[in-house]
Amino acid sequence: MKRNDYISWDEYFMGVAKLSALRSKDPGTQVGCCIATVDNRIASLGYNGLPRGCGDDMFPWNREGLPLETKYLYVVHSELNAILNFVGNDLTNCKIYVTLFPCNECAKAIIQSGIKEIVYAEDRYADTDIVKASKKMLDAAGVVHRKYKSSSKKLVIEV
């Protein structure tokens, strides 16, 4: 195998985030993330879904309707899930790879956990107040956020 046949760390961790997203039961938006340490080890993974013990069929996945009839009051975002799933004691200076730019609530958790860089695949809601607030807080806290630069490599994994 030639040296250029290997994938970069960004490709590796974003690939893991994309794979994690496939665990989400959300029919509209599957989001995944991977937290990587400064020495390129996976610290934690997450995807958007319901809290432990809350069955996927017991709660709504609707995007529209009365608040209690939509997913928004129930679903835990991938970033928060990854932070809560972390079994160590320190995420300081880690990077978080996420398939969708974090909302304001996840930005708070990212900042508080000490994560210093966000690499995101999509910024679909950039014009919303939620993402504008997220970016304002991240910038104020010195958390770098950059768009993932997709390579032309296509990987096929058979499971």
Given the residues 79, 105, 117, 122, the one annotated as active site:
79
- What's the pLDDT tens digit per position in 37-46? 999 999 999 9
Give the helix/strand (H/E) hosting 121: strand 117-122
Mean pLDDT of the chain: 94
User: Given this model, what pLDDT does residue 30 score?
Assistant: 97
| DSSP letter (8 states) at residue 69 | G
Does the active-site annotation cover 79? yes
**Structure-token match 């938006």, residue found:** 29
User: Given this model, what pLDDT does residue 2 score?
Assistant: 60
